Amino acid sequence: MNKIKTKNINRILIRAANWVGDAVMSLPMISSVRKNFPNAQIYILAKPWTAPIFENNPDIDHIIIYHAGTKHKGIWGLLRLCRELRRYRFDLAVLIPNAFSSALLSLLAGIPNRLGYNTDGRTLLLTHPVCMKPEHKKRHHIDYYMGILEGASLHIFSSKLNLMISVQERINTEHILKNSGVSNFSRIIGINPGAAFGSAKRWFPDRYARLCLKLQSIYPDLTVLVFGGPGEKELGESICRIIKNKSINLCGKTTLRQAAALIEKCRLFITNDSGLMHIAAALDIPQIAVFGPTNHTTTSPASSNSHIIKVPTPCSPCLKQECPLGHHECMKAVSIEMVFEKARNLKIFN
């Protein structure tokens, strides 16, 4: 592979990862792109639901929204997006997703240097295809994304996650908490009982609720914030009905940026393997992450303040959206007592 001539690169397009957690885990790679090309303009092409991850980031100059479900949908939408991208005259495309379509898009957009893994039959579409080796798939996603740059003989820098919360966002968070009746003296924990990937990744709602009641019995001033998306409102309500006092259902009531700023206020975040888990890791918030069907070696939260609870079972990791055996054994094996003891041992409420 020919080495990319960094002095000739003035404008870079990075095709972002398609899921919130993956987008967070790609931040160190994006930071390394900035350090390799300190004088270049860096643009991110992102789906609407991941775009907020890249806001307020000093490594990124511009965000372009990829409306794959509306104006950029189908072949005509793809061609429209290609025309839009051509106007920018990009010198380099860095492709985080392995999809054939992302390589085709960069080619049709007239980008002369196209860098990415050589998967999905797209080798001929890339000017700098990086060989995907079996060991790459065993890496943590942060290192997996860094491998794209390594394959092009670019320098690798810190793997630190850099999610930025602005001063104004912190001020707005104070208003949200005040309007929700949360005292300035309350100790706050957050729970995230949902998971966009599917039900297999979800620890049981009643266990979340009973865990919170157990914690409140020891720490009576504890306020519980329940996080989740619009489709998880009833899930949040069912948990709050059990907890009753000092519980606030935020499911579907916040933007992703607002959720991140609220997580930053938490003494502890308890979550399934999810995008919000990676946001909490990026903010270095103490958290307990319950893992079941997914592989924690490749997608664990990248923070020393993050603690994983996973009970080995013969069928895990299956990486399925729904439990293929119907018994959810990997999640049933994680007891309330396990999570409670881990929370107490962290000594974050003292």
Task: State mean pLDDT over 41-70.
Answer: 97
Which of residues 98, 116, 151 is at a domain's end? 151
pLDDT of 324 reads 80
Same domain, 225 and 78: no
Which tokens in the block code for residue 302? Answer: 């990248």
Q: What is the pLDDT of residue 347?
A: 82
Highest mean pLDDT among 201-205, 240-244, 295-299: 240-244
Distance CA 307, CA 290 (A): 9
Q: How distant, in Å, are the alpha carbons of 32, 141, 186, 189 from that of 286?
A: 26, 21, 17, 10
Which pLDDT value is given to residue 4? 86
Do the beta carbons of residue 222 and residue 247 sit within 8 Å? Answer: no
pLDDT at 137: 87
In a domain, 159, yes or no: no
Nearest to 282 by CA among 18, 48, 26: 26
Range of the domain at 262: 167-345
| Backbone torsion region of residue 129, taken as left when φ is above 0, otherwise alpha when ψ lies between -120 and 50, otherwise beta | beta
Q: Does the pLDDT value for residue 170 go beyond 80?
A: yes
Q: Which two tokens stand for residue 110?
A: 């007239």
If asked whether residues 142 and 173 sit together in one domain, one would say: no
Strand partners, 268: 189
Counting the structural domains of the chain, the total is 2
Q: Please check whether residues 145 and 184 belong to one and the same domain.
A: no
The answer to whether residues 172 and 316 belong to one domain is yes
Which is more confident, 297 or 270?
A: 270
- 80 with 187, same domain: the answer is no
In-domain check, residue 160? no
If asked whether residues 179 and 279 sit together in one domain, one would say yes
Our CA dihedral for 256, 261, 266, 271, rounded to 10 degrees, sits at 20
What is the per-residue pLDDT for 294? 83
Task: For residues 204 and 140, state if they share a domain.
Answer: no
Query: Is the dihedral angle over the CA atoms 96, 98, 101, 103 positive or is it negative?
Result: positive
Model pLDDT, residue 1: 64
**Residue among 219, 224, 259 nearest 239 (CA):** 224
What is the C-alpha separation between 257 and 57, in angstroms, rounded?
A: 13
**216-221 mean pLDDT:** 93
pLDDT at 321 over 90: no
Average pLDDT, the chain: 93
Side by side, the strands of the sheet bearing 92-95 are 62-65, 41-46, 11-15, 92-95, 113-117, 128-130
Same domain, 198 and 95: no
Least confidently predicted of 2-6, 130-134, 305-309: 2-6
pLDDT tens-digit map of 100-128: 999 999 999 999 999 999 998 999 999 99
pLDDT of residue 8: 87
Q: Which residue has the higher pLDDT, 65 or 162?
A: 65
Burial class (CB in 10 A: 0-12, 13-18, 19+), 32: buried
Does 297 have pLDDT greater than 70? Answer: yes
Structure tokens at 329: 């054994």
For residue 134, the domain's CATH number is: 3.40.50.2000
Identify whether 350 is part of a domain. no
Residue 188 and residue 323 in one domain: yes
> So what's the pLDDT on residue 253?
94
The answer to the question of residue 108 being in a domain is yes
Neighbours of 68 (CB within 10 A): 16
Domain for residue 63, yes or no?
yes
One domain for residues 115 and 188? no
Report d(CA 151, CA 253) in Å as an integer: 42
Give the pLDDT band of residue 134 (cuts 50, 70, 90).
confident
* pLDDT bucket at 227, cuts 50 / 70 / 90: very high
In a domain, 300, yes or no: yes
Query: If you average pLDDT over residues 173-194, what whole number do you get?
Result: 91
Structural domain ending residue among the three candidates 127, 151, 175: 151
202 belongs to a structural domain: yes
Q: Report if residue 258 sits inside a domain.
A: yes
Residues 6+ apart with CB under 8 A from 46: 16, 23, 53, 54, 63, 64, 65, 66
Task: Copy the structure tokens of residue 237.
Answer: 């309500």
Domain boundary among 90, 125, 151: 151
Question: CA 336 to CA 194: how far, in whole Å?
Answer: 17
192 lies in the same domain as 320: yes
pLDDT (tens digit per residue) in 236-291: 999 999 998 899 999 999 999 999 999 999 999 999 999 999 999 999 999 999 99
Same domain for 137 and 182?
no
